[in-house]
Amino acid sequence: MRSTPRSTRLISLASTAVIMVVGLVLLGVPRATPAAAAVPAGFQDAAVLSGLSEPTALQFAPDGRVFVAEKNGLIKVFHGLSDTAPTIFADLRTQVHNFWDRGLLGITLDPQFSTGRPYVYVLYTHDAALGGTAPRWGTADASSDGCPNPPGATAAGCVVSGHLSKLTANGDVMAGPEQVLVDGWCQQFPSHSMGTVAFGADGKLYASAGEGANFNYEDHGQTGNPCGDPAGKGGALRAQSLRAGGTPTVLSGSVIRVDPDTGLGSSTNPRWRAVPTPTPAASSPKDCATPSASPSGRGPTRSGPATSGGTPGRRSTGSRTPPPRSATSGGRATRDAAPRTPTASSRCARTCPPAR
């Protein structure tokens, strides 16, 4: 009788064990549930606000109310941590492109929220190209958006932009139209979208965002170049535009420091200088806005090459003009269709490190 080699027997036993495990799984035999992560000493883990859909940021008002931003564009107000029935403060779902990294990602309250400045500031991915009207890729009032193919999310990309906006609170609901402070951040692909908005101790408004580059390859703008970047200086390199000589500076990958009422940069920003007249991109200061009103009437435009979607970084001080929407139950804000008023300015709108 021939003996079976030891290695063959071991392989046979291992195969049998794998088959048994797979069989148990298919038969529905319960497996042990991993234990929850231990909470450090002195801390407790408890849900205080529930019933939310992908909450991304929250802010406490001085009176104890909690403003919660959902990625889809809804902003809800809770009257304290024990409130189980929040009010919808604002519905920005039509404006917001909620797709992958994109959405409503930043919210903050004015430092004087309870003393005469009841303003809520939001930072989100705008479902339109620069200067465009939402929705471009999504559906009005939808909570989840997509990117059709073509163009394809990571093929040619669904090009969008970013908005830093100011909302006025009247009790638990938004009053009046949304005021877009900054319309910028051309983004081709759905990664590295918007970031955070917060107030500094100096009373200025700070906001950050990414460059919307493709994560599947070294993206330097070679796929269609819809943002109108100089050859070989788009994509991920948009975040380095300040360092690239002869390249228009864009807001991608930066932290901007702006006036919370106008969206214009402060004269105390590093590298700030006034621009009295529109300047060609090749010689314009890299971090300044030109004072002329744009042809579309959306406020002062940032120097740089025009594209089909607008200029690389508009600043707007007028109220935005969404389609009219009636007030609804649940505290949705009423919007009107007031036209924007072009505004001239000569203030820079980007915070940049000193040149090296």
Residue 240, in any domain of the structure: yes
Q: Which domain holds residue 170?
A: 55-263
Q: Is residue 90 predicted with pLDDT exceeding 80? A: yes
| pLDDT, average across residues 80-92 | 97
Q: pLDDT for 206-242, tens place per residue?
A: 999 999 999 999 999 999 999 999 999 999 999 988 8
Query: Lowest-confidence range among 1-15, 16-30, 32-46?
Result: 16-30
Q: pLDDT for 155-192, tens place per residue?
A: 999 999 999 999 999 999 999 999 999 999 999 999 99
> How far is 112 from 353, CA to CA, in rounded Å?
29
Residue pair 311/301 in contact by the 8 Å Cβ criterion: yes
Residue 32, in any domain of the structure: no
The model's pTM is: 0.71
Q: pLDDT for 255-314, tens place per residue?
A: 999 999 999 998 888 877 665 544 333 222 233 332 222 222 233 233 332 233 333 344
Structure tokens at 79: 């009257």
Residue 213, in any domain of the structure: yes
What's the number of domains the chain is made of? 1
Nearest to 225, CA basis, from 157, 152, 282? 157
Q: pLDDT for 94-149, tens place per residue?
A: 999 999 999 999 999 999 999 999 999 999 999 999 999 999 999 999 999 999 99
Residue 326, in any domain of the structure: no
CA dihedral 310, 311, 315, 317 (to 10 degrees): -30
Residue 293, in any domain of the structure: no
Residue 352, in any domain of the structure: no
Residue 154, in any domain of the structure: yes
Mean pLDDT of the chain: 76
In this structure, what CATH number is given to the domain that contains residue 105? Answer: 2.120.10.30
| pLDDT, average across residues 74-97 | 97
Q: Is residue 243 predicted with pLDDT exceeding 70? A: yes
More confident residue, 200 or 328: 200
Residue 45, in any domain of the structure: no
For 305, residues 6+ apart whose C-beta sits below 8 A from its C-beta are 228, 230, 248, 281, 311, 312
